[in-house]
Amino acid sequence: MADAAPAPRPRFHLAFPVDDLARARTFYEGVLGATVGRTSDRWIDFRFWDHQITAHLCATSHAGATNEVDQDDVPVRHFGVILEWDAWEALASRLQDVRADFVLEPKIRFVGQPGEQATFFVRDPAGNALEFKAFRDDADVFRSEPR
């Protein structure tokens, strides 16, 4: 009897505010050994023990702070999980069916670009923002250069 293929391992995603991107990069990359993925003048993705964390430039750590990502005001303080595409679609559908209060409705971001992803944001009962996303190409989770 053949062994069953292992289930894909979920990756953790965490976004957090920083007041200086250069200092954040020095610490996460230089001190902790994280590798840098996609960047902008407002945020840096890091590969942090095979999970994705994102430092967002923000003057304050206030929970209501947002940053523009692909023309959406994304809550800077949020966490979430990167799912397989089918699992993301099923969860989005289930939350739409129960009329969840979306911070950002399900959508596809960065269409046709490296990092193309399905994403949506909801808040938990305490007001914490959660992002659920799936990448069209799993290799794009940590890709730093265009294909």
> Residue 113 corresponds to which amino acid?
Q
Written as tens digits, the pLDDT of the chain (147 aa) is 466 777 778 888 988 888 889 989 988 898 788 899 999 999 999 998 889 989 899 876 556 788 788 888 888 778 878 889 999 999 999 889 988 889 999 999 999 888 899 999 988 766 778 898 999 998 888 877 544
Tell me the pairing of strands 129-135 and 117-123.
Answer: antiparallel
Instruction: Please give the pLDDT value at position 63.
Output: 63
**How far apart are the C-alpha atoms of 81 and 83, rounded to whole Å?**
6
pTM: 0.64
The pLDDT assigned to 77 comes to 77
- Domain 11-141: assigned CATH number: 3.10.180.10
pLDDT at 127: 72
Q: Which residues contact 13 (CB under 8 A, 6 or more apart)?
A: 51, 52, 53, 54, 79, 80, 81, 82, 131, 133
Determine how β-strand 51-57 pairs with β-strand 11-18: parallel
**55 close to 46: Cβ distance less than 8 angstroms:** yes
Pairwise CA distance, residues 64 & 114, whole Å: 29
Q: How far is CA 117 from CA 9, 28, 31, in A?
A: 18, 24, 30
Q: Residue 145 has what pLDDT? A: 59
- For residue 135, what pLDDT is reported? 95
